[in-house]
Structure 1
Amino acid sequence: MITKLPKWILWGGAVLAFSAGCVNTTALMGFANLSVSHVTGNVSLFAAAIAYSDAHSILYIGALLLSFLAGAILSGFVIGQTSLTLGRRYGRALYFEAALLIAAYWLYQQHDYLGQLAAAMACGLQNAMVATYSGAVIRTTHLTGLTSDMGAAIGNWLAGRSISKPTLGFQAIIWYCFCSGSTVGAFLFAKVGYDALLVPIAIVLSAAFIYNYVSSTLPEKRQPKL
């Protein structure tokens, strides 16, 4: 349960949620018409493809699911552990994510379905990178679990039980930022197509630069061993 939220987690979660919303909407509105950040929906589509014996969809959606998993594996390999701690290798992970988004952008321009896989891998990496803080699960690439947690907290509050207001507030910010990013992504895609991805690419690269700068200014004794 979050009692006091460091500003770097608040701002980081907000901008990454905005970025993920933009990426996912762009991917969904593009020629592939598939989400890259929502595993649950894609599993349902995968099951439907199996039911209809649609070999092409089975292979492609299966690859999409594995790409998200591969991104999460890469996050675990680069960062290690699951608790958010300033000083870990988040900057390196963000550079990997930016590289994947750049690759997706280039592949999309070639009308290559591999762009969808690169974008899914970037989302998997980001979602695993932002894992937990003070026992609260933090997800920045989809809203299902987050909405459930918010609803349960509001229900407890209405019943007169105590809740963690900082946790609920942070979850509301993530929800709003993902929705805002999705809206911006939709508007941009309608106007400039896949150039909409330049916004999340710029966001992730900026986050990497800022994080590395802040980490480098910490006293050596405050930085955890990697």
Structure 2
Amino acid sequence: MRPITPVQIVIGGCLLAFGASFLNTGFLLSTGASVSHLTGDIARIGSGLSNLGSSSGSHIFNVTSAALGFITGAIISGFLLHHPTVEISKPYGRILSVLGICLLISYATYSSAPVLSITIASAVCGAQNALASRYRGVVLRTTHLTGLFTDFGIHLGMKLRGHTVEGWKLLIPICLTCSFLVGAVISSAVALNALGNWLLLAGIGYLLGGMAWSFYKRTRSE
């Protein structure tokens, strides 16, 4: 079986970044909680703990469930894949399909149990972020941008200093950032203009994406 190429890494990473941003933006607009990264949630937990008696103190439940869900998802991903290095032999397609089903469950519970819905969606993002965090010396993150900007700055600085840096290592952060931005724009348009249910669309997208990758992987192994 042929290894995954840098081009496939960029394309796959862009699709995952788009999905995470699409999902995260929807939750930010509807609940104020981020499901794709923890920095803002931890800050909100801290501010909530200092104002438990205020009206904003109730928001702590949403962001706490998001943080715990993200960590749980990363733990599950680590348990299933054992190692964060990208390898085509790993069951990424099946896992993405399961994540899609989880998002459909999140959609089904959103109205009746929003905290549970947030927890499930955060676990999906945590699992996605831990699916493949390393590829040929590059740290891959598809649910938030801080690490991407850091890696881009490091590699660009090295290149300016005269070190040999492969072009795709600079291309990955740029492409993922653009995909993340596009995901936020489209999710906002869908949510604010009532063009459909963003959470339902996200679940269907992940499910179909996982099925597509499983099919593509099978054709490569034949």
Aligned length: 216
1:122 and 2:121 matched: no
Structure 2 residue runs without a partner (length 5+): none
In structure 1, the partner of 2:191 is: 189
Matches within 5 A, 1:181-220: 181-192=183-194, 195-219=197-221
1:46 and 2:45 matched: yes
Change beyond 3 A, Cα 1:22–1:6: same
The Cα RMSD (Å) is: 2.2
Change beyond 3 A, Cα 1:39–1:194: farther
Between the aligned partners of 2:196 and 2:28, the Cα distance in structure 1 is 11
Contact 1:109–1:194 (Cα < 8 Å) also in 2: no
In structure 2, the partner of 1:78 is: 80
Contact 2:102–2:203 (Cα < 8 Å) also in 1: no
Structure 1 residue runs without a partner (length 5+): 221-226
Change beyond 3 A, Cα 1:176–1:87: same
Between the aligned partners of 2:61 and 2:118, the Cα distance in structure 1 is 13
Query: What's the TM-score, normalizing by structure 2?
Result: 0.87
**1:161 offset after TM fit, Å?**
4.3
Give the 3-state SS of the residue equivalent to 1:52 in structure 2. coil
In structure 2, the partner of 1:223 is: none
Change beyond 3 A, Cα 1:119–1:18: same
Change beyond 3 A, Cα 1:210–1:36: same
Change beyond 3 A, Cα 1:57–1:190: closer
Contact 1:24–1:36 (Cα < 8 Å) also in 2: yes
Contact 2:23–2:187 (Cα < 8 Å) also in 1: yes
Between the aligned partners of 1:106 and 1:24, the Cα distance in structure 2 is 17
| Equivalent position amino acid for 2:155 in 1 | A
Query: What's the TM-score, normalizing by structure 1?
Result: 0.86
Matches within 5 A, 1:151-166: 151-166=153-168
Query: Which of 133, 136, 139 is the matching residue for 2:135?
Result: 133
Give the 3-state SS of the residue equivalent to 1:88 in structure 2. coil
| Equivalent position amino acid for 2:150 in 1 | S
In structure 2, the partner of 1:15 is: 15
| Equivalent position amino acid for 2:11 in 1 | W
In structure 1, the partner of 2:170 is: 168
Q: Deviations over 1:7-54 (max 9, x none)?
A: 432221111111111000000000x21111120111111111222235
